[in-house]
């Protein structure tokens, strides 16, 4: 059997492509302005090496902040156009106001407008080409899922909407089935005997194995998988792809061999990493508290009008190694919000005041927590600190829940920037998956990514 490989791009390849091409089209646009107009604010010359590098750095930073490299967003042209406009508007402002490194402001101020427009137009035209070409079906990665039917629905739902270029064509039941076996109607099922033929006929580019009971796998399927592997065909385990695409640990599919899934990052024991992290916590928390003091008069006035009660509230939370501490926050709910008992905060929660909703959406309510960071109870980055009541409840229901407490909780974190506010058991499971992914992979790079994503959350007013 000869397999004709299709052309497709991995998630990481598309993100790199977007970043590189954004830089390429920006510099081409500037160069075209130099050639065909009297634009001289930023010329391609040896004297302008530093300004050109600065422009490239700003394109990458603000493109990340305004989600130009989020593949879900990049696949929607209207959303991309909005993000490009916002990113370039802020970029140009910062570029013009950067002392020493950027060029001197031109005498003809209209050149600033040319500079602004060429950045927007060049990136937008490239993104139009991206959505029409790279995002077209010819570049889809066509996947065949091999697994037991009882797990197929959960697997498909997890992956189906995550990557627009990741298309699950159908599935093949890896176990013996008969007329009374459970059937899954949401995806086309191929017979096991046609395994190799399906690979050829459907132009499958990758097989995803999601069989959690390998002993029950049909011998023909097992031998066909070995044959494909020997011929260099790409076969991957579901949990590996799940973690790669969704960037969270699939704990719902982890069994007695759980230790395979948690080879935690060496950063957890790296003294240099921990030194830099604590230094960052101290510096950032001092700056955060100073900012809090500056805006305190406005918060006090807003609290008097919109909250009518105490400005702060103190609550017990669970920290590192399951030790409790007292957290400080700006009050966002009505007084005696839990007189009927402890319950989840929900979307549109009537207990949240109007001013409190503003504080939550802007995340200003969390400024007093910088004091907890300074004390060492928390870190800037880590899992969200939960209340003892919820920890006790969730630990009984969700496996490995206590593992999130092996590091300090944080003001922001991988779960906070990637998942919605936890208002149910399912939401808490999803957030735990993100927390464990962070603990497993934590590094300076992922910490920087979290800071950038947090800026996006604040700028797009998505706090909860």
Judgement on whether residues 169 and 271 belong to the same structural domain of the protein: no
Judgement on whether residues 198 and 112 belong to the same structural domain of the protein: no
Average pLDDT, consecutive stretches of 10 residues, N- to C-terminus, the chain (464 residues): 56 85 95 90 89 94 89 84 93 92 87 94 94 74 80 70 75 68 68 89 87 74 89 85 84 70 71 91 95 93 87 92 93 78 68 86 90 95 92 89 92 88 78 91 89 81 58
Judgement on whether residues 292 and 228 belong to the same structural domain of the protein: no
Q: CB under 8 Å to 337, separation ≥6 — which residues? A: 351
* Mean pLDDT, rounded, of the chain: 84
Judgement on whether residues 325 and 296 belong to the same structural domain of the protein: yes
Residue 106 · residue 41 · CB < 8 Å: yes
Quote the tokens at residue 194: 């046609």
Residue 160's domain is classified under what CATH number?
A: 3.40.50.10700
**For residue 173, is it within any domain?**
yes
Domain ranges, residue 424: 266-459
Judgement on whether residues 306 and 439 belong to the same structural domain of the protein: yes
**For residue 367, is it within any domain?**
yes
CA distance 168 to 153: 12
**For residue 340, is it within any domain?**
yes
pLDDT tens profile 137-157 = 667 788 888 877 666 676 777
Selection from 236, 135, 149, 221 nearest residue 187 by Cα = 149
Judgement on whether residues 185 and 55 belong to the same structural domain of the protein: no
Q: Which residues of 97-124 are buried (b: 16+ CB within 10 A; e: fewer)?
A: eeeeebbeeeeeeebeebbbebbbebbb
CB neighbours of residue 67 within 10 Å: 22
**For residue 1, is it within any domain?**
no
Last residue of a domain, one of 104, 132, 160: 132
pLDDT tens profile 311-349 = 998 999 999 999 999 999 998 888 877 766 667 666 667
**For residue 291, is it within any domain?**
yes
| β-bridge pairing 235-237 and 312-318 | unpaired
Q: CB under 8 Å to 441, separation ≥6 — which residues? A: 265
What is the number of domains present in the chain?
A: 3
CA distance 118 to 384: 42
pLDDT tens profile 96-147 = 999 889 998 888 889 999 999 999 999 999 999 998 887 766 677 888 888 7
| pLDDT of amino acid 179 | 46
Judgement on whether residues 20 and 167 belong to the same structural domain of the protein: no
**For residue 93, is it within any domain?**
yes
**For residue 385, is it within any domain?**
yes
Helix (H) or strand (E) holding 189: strand 189-190
CA distance 68 to 91: 13
| pLDDT of amino acid 454 | 87
| β-bridge pairing 324-330 and 312-318 | antiparallel
Judgement on whether residues 300 and 396 belong to the same structural domain of the protein: yes
pTM for the full model? 0.78
Quote the tokens at residue 224: 């066909």
Burial class of residue 182 (count of CB atoms within 10 Å of its CB; 0-12, 13-18, 19+): exposed
Judgement on whether residues 218 and 323 belong to the same structural domain of the protein: no
Residue 224 · residue 170 · CB < 8 Å: no
Judgement on whether residues 128 and 150 belong to the same structural domain of the protein: no
Quote the tokens at residue 335: 């007084």
Selection from 167, 165, 175, 260 nearest residue 210 by Cα = 175
**For residue 27, is it within any domain?**
yes
């Amino acid at each position: 059997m000869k397999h004709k490989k299709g052309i497709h791009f991995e998630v990481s390849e598309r993100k790199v492509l977007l970043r590189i091409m954004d830089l390429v089209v920006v510099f081409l646009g500037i160069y075209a302005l130099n050639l065909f107009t009297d634009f001289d604010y930023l010329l391609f010359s040896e004297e302008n090496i530093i300004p050109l590098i600065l422009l490239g750095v700003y394109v990458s930073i603000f493109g990340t902040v305004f989600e130009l490299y989020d593949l879900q967003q990049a696949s929607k042209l209207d959303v991309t156009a909005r993000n490009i406009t916002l990113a370039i508007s802020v970029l140009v402002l910062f570029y013009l106001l950067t002392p020493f490194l950027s060029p001197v402001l031109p005498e003809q101020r209209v050149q600033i407008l040319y500079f602004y427009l060429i950045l927007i137009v060049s990136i937008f035209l490239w993104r139009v080409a991206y959505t029409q070409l790279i995002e077209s079906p010819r570049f889809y990665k066509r996947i065949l899922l091999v697994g037991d039917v009882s797990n197929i629905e959960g697997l498909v739902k997890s992956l189906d909407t995550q990557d627009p270029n990741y298309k699950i064509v159908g599935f093949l039941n890896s176990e013996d089935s008969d007329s009374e076996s459970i059937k899954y109607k949401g995806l086309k099922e191929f017979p096991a005997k046609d395994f190799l033929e399906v690979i050829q006929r459907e132009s499958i580019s990758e097989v995803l194995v999601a069989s959690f009971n390998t002993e029950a796998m049909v011998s023909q399927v097992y031998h066909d998988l070995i044959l494909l592997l020997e011929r260099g065909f790409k076969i991957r385990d579901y949990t590996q792809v799940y973690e790669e695409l969704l960037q969270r640990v699939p704990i719902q599919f982890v069994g007695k061999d759980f230790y395979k899934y948690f080879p935690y990052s060496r950063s957890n024991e790296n003294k240099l990493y921990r030194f830099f992290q604590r230094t960052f916590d101290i510096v950032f928390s001092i700056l955060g508290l100073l900012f809090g003091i500056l805006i305190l008069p406005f918060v006090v006035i807003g609290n008097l009008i919109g909250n009518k009660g105490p400005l702060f509230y103190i609550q017990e939370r669970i920290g590192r190694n399951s030790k409790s501490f007292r957290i400080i926050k700006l009050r966002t709910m009505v007084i005696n919000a839990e007189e009927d008992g402890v319950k989840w905060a929900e979307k549109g929660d009537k207990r949240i005041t109007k001013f409190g909703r503003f504080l939550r959406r802007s995340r200003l309510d969390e400024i007093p927590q910088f004091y907890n960071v300074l004390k060492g109870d928390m870190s800037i980055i880590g899992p969200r600190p939960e209340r003892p009541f919820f920890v006790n409840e969730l630990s009984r229901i969700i496996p490995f829940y206590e593992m999130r407490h092996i590091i300090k909780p944080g003001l922001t974190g991988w779960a906070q920037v990637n998942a919605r506010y936890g208002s149910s058991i399912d939401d808490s499971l999803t957030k735990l998956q993100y927390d464990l992914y962070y603990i497993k992979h934590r590094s300076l790079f992922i910490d920087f990514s979290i800071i950038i994503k947090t800026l996006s959350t604040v700028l797009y007013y998505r706090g909860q």
